[in-house]
Structure 1
Amino acid sequence: MTNDLHLCAVAGAPGDPLLARVFPAPLRPSRTAFQRDRERIVEARAFRRLAGKTQVFTSRASDHFRSRLTHTIEVAQIARAAAATLGLNEDLAETLALVHDIGHPPFGHAGERALDTCLQRHGLRFDHNIHALRIVDHFEQRYAAHRGLNLTLGVREGIVKHSRDYMLADHPELAEFFLDQRPPLEAQLIDLADEIAYLTADLDDGVESGLLEIGHICENVSILSRCYKAVEKQHAGVEEKYLFYEALQLMQNILTDDLIRTTAENVQAIGAASLEDIRRHPSRLAVFSPGAEAERLQEKRYLYETLYTCAPLEREHDKAEEVVTALFEHWINDPEELPPSHFEEVEEEGLARVVADYIAGMTDSFILLQYADIKRALRR
């Protein structure tokens, strides 16, 4: 693998549009623009709250399961390694990985679905990428001169576009983010680094929870089976769970190497030599090979069928829907019960959006406290 692609074209030269900020900010010779963005994100309250938000299992079940924060750190490791090998901008890739889940509400995807359902009754939708942009542009208040973190255009574009494409006709408010073009490779890598991280972690947490069995995984997930047999051959007689840990590491390495190799081959195949070449290509170039993609889809289906929709987690999902829906309706019906800082936003943003914003920012433990308080008040 060569290390001479340098396709992001955001080395920090003055005037580069992806380094632009909405508000003027003094230069810092000791740090790049994206390093400064990384620090602003890590210091944000919304980033700290990821420690209290569900990935798959709630933190109430065990301290050993991944939270949104630990998952985010794992994604950042993969993204930075891939960017470094490809000769891309490591700081941009790491920063986008660290911010990629900052817009998720409590209770994981179950909480997001419940919040989206509530908003649809008011003609709105909840999109965690767009909500993440609202967090860094509006909700975080760290500076005296302006609201938001004042991140670079490159990071703000990546927040919006790392996992999906948006149509300008549907989202005119996102016009500044080159919606008719592909994002830089650093942003494209994040979605697949995310896939690699959670496919590995969810098997690990699934076995730790007792909901998945190693033998059953090996019977149904080809890539894990192949990895397990390889490490078993090297470490005969070692306890099953340690072979499983080694197999997970090998699987993660195989998927990461495949992503790097396939992305480099795709870039070279179209003769790309600049960010403009990446942007104008009709499809994303950061992808898995057909073989790895087939194995990724097989594992993802397995996780959906055996873990994400299993009875114990479905009960957690039902509880999440109950809590989110009840609180949403409570504040819709009695908006003066909102914190003053949120109530002040109602005139400009609309009540339903403000209520959703408030709920989305909560950790699992805080939203359960709010729910308990409201239930007690209703019993009086």
Structure 2
Amino acid sequence: MAAPRMVYACDPDRSRGRLADEPPAKSRSPFRRDCDRVIHSTAFRRLKYKTQVFVFHEGDHYRTRLTHSLEVAQIARALARRLGLDEDLTETLALAHDLGHPPFGHAGERALDSCLQALGGFDHNAQALRVVTSLEHRYPGFDGLNLTWESLEGIVKHNGPLTDRCGKPAGRYRDHGLPLGISEFDRTWDLELWSYASLEAQVAAISDDIAYDAHDIDDGLRAGLFTVDDLKVMPLISGMIADIAQRYPDLDDDRRGAELVRELISYLIEAVFSESRRRLEAARPKSVEDVRTHGSVLIAFPPEAEEAEEMIKIFLKERMYRHPRVMRVMDEAESILFDLFARYQRSPHDLPPEWLRRDGEGAESETERARRIGNFIAGMTDRFALTEHQRLFVSTPDLR
């Protein structure tokens, strides 16, 4: 049963609105409208052929960015419902959180970050903001999706504040500064980068962790990179495996792995719910503004679950993300994007017509061209990147 909406939840009737004025929808809240716009966007459909860990053609049953996003949304809505938050805003942020990812997962991000280093690098959160504020071209009155302030805030700040109160970059941006896409938009519409995001955004962020911890284990088992018994090096997982063996002594390895993934998701959801409720009862926020100015996250793992979750990340990094098979494919994927970026810089007319500079727009600087090429490549699917490379080059890696 859903909890009643709490005073610290985002209220769609009190939204700060949209950058471009629009009449309200007749039958949907502003946040439900945001969610529907994300689902119907071109960028969301492209996630179907974007790598999570394994390139799309390595198998039909591995996660893609699309299926991962759907799984994040399911977990996020479950938590939002129990905590009395706005489920539509939570779902919007869960579904939108990976819209800025380029092809080939983190390998693609590393490649674009290197190619765009002179322009501040590449950041997938900044790219997601760019997608929903300018790169989608579906509506007659504006570029982007014209999402509410609360959705844009959550896309940018779901991992915490980006600056201190004085505007000095903080956290992961302390050393290299804010991504250009975020700093430029913030001058147009202040997203209060110094504050924490809503609880709905915090729920979406931690649901991302839960989803990829559990489902990367599932995909790693399917790929044969490790076995269920290999996971026993982690005390939490070992206990779950022992409990499953006691309840189902004759279970085959496939079902044993699937049951483990279900148990892990349930455990992490319950852990987050319990810890978040404890923090909320201690903080007693009276509004979403109290949440933003609280000074720390309110949606979190308890210490024992945080330690177990960190052990899962370490295991996956060593046994999956850095597995020679995965590393070889990702190294080749990086080379594809390096090749494409250099080719488009040398020969911009190799870009599709809709990405060419239009007559009458004036001379284009190298900076503007590099940004345009970066936006084009970031929007590619794995499949389209491979097709483009095959079109432009004599030899293309197989990525298998």
Give the TM-score normalised by structure 2. Answer: 0.89
Q: Is the 8 A contact 1:332 1:355 kept in 2?
A: yes
The offset of 1:273, in angstroms, is 1.9
1:184 maps to 2:180: no
Q: Map 1:297-312 onto structure 2 (within 5 A).
A: 297-312=310-325
The offset of 1:244, in angstroms, is 2.1
AA partner of residue 157 (structure 2): K
Partner of 2:300: 287
Q: Is the 8 A contact 1:224 1:248 kept in 2?
A: no
Partner of 1:353: 371
Partner of 2:157: 161
Distance between the aligned counterparts of 1:270 and 1:310, measured in 2?
43
Partner of 2:391: 373
Q: Is the 8 A contact 2:9 2:200 kept in 1?
A: no
Distance between the aligned counterparts of 1:119 and 1:73, measured in 2?
30
The more displaced of 260-269 and 235-244 is: 235-244
Q: Map 1:235-314 onto structure 2 (within 5 A).
A: 235-314=248-327
Distance between the aligned counterparts of 1:209 and 1:266, measured in 2?
39
1:51 maps to 2:69: no
Distance between the aligned counterparts of 1:180 and 1:164, measured in 2?
9
SS of the residue aligned with 1:237?
coil
Q: Is the 8 A contact 2:345 2:369 kept in 1?
A: yes
Residues 29 and 8 of structure 1: CA distance in aligned 2, closer, same or farther (over 3 Å):
farther
Partner of 1:107: 104
Residues 374 and 200 of structure 1: CA distance in aligned 2, closer, same or farther (over 3 Å):
same
Distance between the aligned counterparts of 2:30 and 2:98, measured in 1?
21
Partner of 2:129: 133
Distance between the aligned counterparts of 1:76 and 1:44, measured in 2?
16
1:146 maps to 2:142: yes
The offset of 1:221, in angstroms, is 2.3
AA partner of residue 376 (structure 1): V
Partner of 2:171: none
The offset of 1:123, in angstroms, is 3.5
Q: Is the 8 A contact 2:8 2:286 kept in 1?
A: no
AA partner of residue 214 (structure 1): V
Partner of 1:327: 340
Aligned residue pairs: how many? Answer: 373
Moved over 4 A (4+): none
SS of the residue aligned with 2:394?
helix
Distance between the aligned counterparts of 2:81 and 2:214, measured in 1?
21
AA partner of residue 190 (structure 1): A
AA partner of residue 146 (structure 2): N
Distance between the aligned counterparts of 1:342 and 1:39, measured in 2?
27
The offset of 1:256, in angstroms, is 0.8
Residues 330 and 130 of structure 1: CA distance in aligned 2, closer, same or farther (over 3 Å):
same
The offset of 1:7, in angstroms, is 4.1
AA partner of residue 92 (structure 2): T
Q: Is the 8 A contact 1:96 1:159 kept in 2?
A: yes
1:195 maps to 2:205: no
Deviations 1:13-53 (A, max 9, x none): 2xx243x0111212123111111111111111100000000
AA partner of residue 185 (structure 1): L
Distance between the aligned counterparts of 1:180 and 1:117, measured in 2?
27
Q: Is the 8 A contact 1:200 1:252 kept in 2?
A: yes
Q: Map 1:2-21 onto structure 2 (within 5 A).
A: 3-4=3-4, 6-13=6-13, 16-18=14-16, 20-21=17-18
Distance between the aligned counterparts of 1:8 and 1:344, measured in 2?
47
The offset of 1:2, in angstroms, is 9.4
> Alpha carbon RMSD of aligned pairs, Å?
2.0
The offset of 1:266, in angstroms, is 0.7
Give the TM-score normalised by structure 1. Answer: 0.94
The offset of 1:339, in angstroms, is 2.5
1:91 maps to 2:88: yes
Distance between the aligned counterparts of 2:223 and 2:345, measured in 1?
37
Distance between the aligned counterparts of 2:322 and 2:395, measured in 1?
33
Percent identity, aligned pairs only, is: 39
The offset of 1:264, in angstroms, is 1.2
Partner of 1:40: 37
Partner of 1:232: 245
Deviations 1:215-244 (A, max 9, x none): 1112x2222222121122112222232122
AA partner of residue 106 (structure 1): P
SS of the residue aligned with 1:104?
coil
